[in-house]
Chain A
Amino acid sequence: MSAGMLALFVAFGVLIGVLFGFFGMGGSFLVTPALLVMGYPSRVAVGSGLAFVFGTSVIATLKHRDLGQVDYKLGISMIIGTTVGLEVGKEIVLYLEELGLAGNIISVTYVLLLGGIGLFVTYEALKGGNGGGVSHDVDGDADIDADDIPELAKKIQSYSLPPMITLRGGVKVSLWMILLVAFATGLLSGFLGVGGGFIRMPALFYLIGVPVPIAVGTDLFEIMFSGGIGSFLYAQSGGVDLSIVAPLLAGSALGARVGSAATSIVDEDEIKIYFGLMLLLGALAVAVRQAGNYLGMGVLDYVSLALILGSALMVSGAVLYSAVKSIRAPSAAGSSTAD
Chain B
Amino acid sequence: MFGIETLGGNAQAAALVGVVLVEAMVLYVGYGALTAALGPTVRKAIGGE
Q: Which positions in A face B, CB cutoff 8 Å?
A: 51, 54-56, 58-59, 62-63, 228, 231-233, 235-236, 240, 242-243, 245-246, 249-250, 253-254, 257, 261, 324, 327-328, 333, 338-339
Separation in Å of the A185 CB from the closest CB of chain B? Answer: 20
CB <8 Å contact, A51 and B16: yes
Decide yes or no: A246 and B23 within 8 Å by CB, A253-B31, A327-B43, A327-B46 being known contacts.
Answer: yes
* Interface flags, B16-32, vs A, CB<8A=1, else 0: 11011101110110011
Decide yes or no: A236 and B47 within 8 Å by CB, A62-B25, A242-B19 being known contacts.
Answer: no
Q: Which 4 pairs show the lowest CB-CB distances between chains A and B? A: A235-B13, A253-B27, A58-B24, A55-B24
Q: Which positions in B face A, CB cutoff 8 Å?
A: 1-2, 4, 9-10, 12-14, 16-17, 19-21, 23-25, 27-28, 31-32, 35, 39-40, 43, 46-48
CB <8 Å contact, A59 and B35: no
Which residues of A are found within 8 Å of B32, using beta-carbon distances?
257
Decide yes or no: A54 and B13 within 8 Å by CB, A250-B27, A338-B39 being known contacts.
Answer: no
CB <8 Å contact, A328 and B24: no
Q: Helix, strand, loop or mixed for chain B's interface?
A: helix
Number of A-B pairs, beta carbon distance below 8 Å: 87
A181 CA to B17 CA, complexed, in Å: 26
Decide yes or no: A243 and B1 within 8 Å by CB, A58-B21, A257-B35 being known contacts.
Answer: yes
Which residues of B are found within 8 Å of A249, using beta-carbon distances?
20, 23-24, 27
A256 CA to B28 CA, complexed, in Å: 10
Separation in Å of the A239 CB from the closest CB of chain B? Answer: 9
Separation in Å of the A18 CB from the closest CB of chain B? Answer: 13
CB <8 Å contact, A236 and B25: no
Separation in Å of the B14 CB from the closest CB of chain A? Answer: 7
CB <8 Å contact, B16 and A59: no
CB <8 Å contact, B2 and A231: no
CB <8 Å contact, B24 and A253: yes
Decide yes or no: A240 and B16 within 8 Å by CB, A55-B21, A55-B23, A328-B48 being known contacts.
Answer: yes
Show 12 A/B contacts (Cβ-Cβ < 8 Å), sorted by A. A54-B21, A55-B20, A228-B17, A236-B9, A242-B19, A253-B27, A253-B28, A254-B31, A257-B32, A327-B47, A338-B40, A339-B39
**Which residue, A55, A59, A232, has most C-beta atoms of chain B within 10 A?**
A55
Beta-carbon nearest neighbor of B49 in chain A = A333
Which residues of B are found within 8 Å of A246, using beta-carbon distances?
1, 19-20, 23
Which residues of A are found within 8 Å of B28, using beta-carbon distances?
58-59, 62-63, 253
Which residues of A are found within 8 Å of B39, using beta-carbon distances?
261, 338-339
CB <8 Å contact, A232 and B27: no
